[in-house]
Amino acid sequence: MSVVAKIALEGASKEFTGRGETVLALQPTTIEIAREQFVALVGPSGCGKSTVLNMIAGLQAPTAGRVVYDGTPVSGPNRQVGYMTQKDTLLPWRSVADNIGLALELKIRTVSANTSPARSSTSRRRC
């Protein structure tokens, strides 16, 4: 891994197993991304773009190889990164304010209704 790499995949690959078969979602991939470098992942559906993002975010572990962020191997949720998918992935049973508050819930940070105007009873409308 280069000293300047902020994010690195080092021979990272990912397989998924289900219904008795194994699918190679990402073949061994090595890439280094420098701090403030702009990168676009482009390819057809099913080629592993979301899998790469999920591994960098620590939401999925590689089957082989490793993912490194800022010199440290990613071994769980990486709270230093975030990304938005192309498709809206809101939880339809939650209000807009509750969907926004999800990030805080996932960070294990509580926000009371008294301190958050977005969560007050008057603003809890369903869309």
pLDDT of residue 126: 42
Asked whether residue 46 is domain-assigned, the answer is yes
Give pLDDT tens digits for 74-123: 999 998 888 777 677 778 888 888 888 887 777 654 455 555 555 444 44
* pTM as predicted: 0.68
Asked whether residue 10 is domain-assigned, the answer is yes
- Return the HEC string of 34-99: ECCCCCCCCCCCCCCHHHHHHHHCCCCCCCEEEEEECCEECCCCCCCCCCCCCCCCCCCCCCHHHH
pLDDT greater than 90 at residue 25: yes
Domain count, the chain: 2
Where residue 46 sits, what CATH number does that domain have? 3.40.50.300
- Owning domain of residue 27: 5-73
If one compares 61 and 114, the residue with the highest pLDDT of the two is 61
pLDDT of residue 91: 80
- Rounded mean pLDDT of the chain? 82
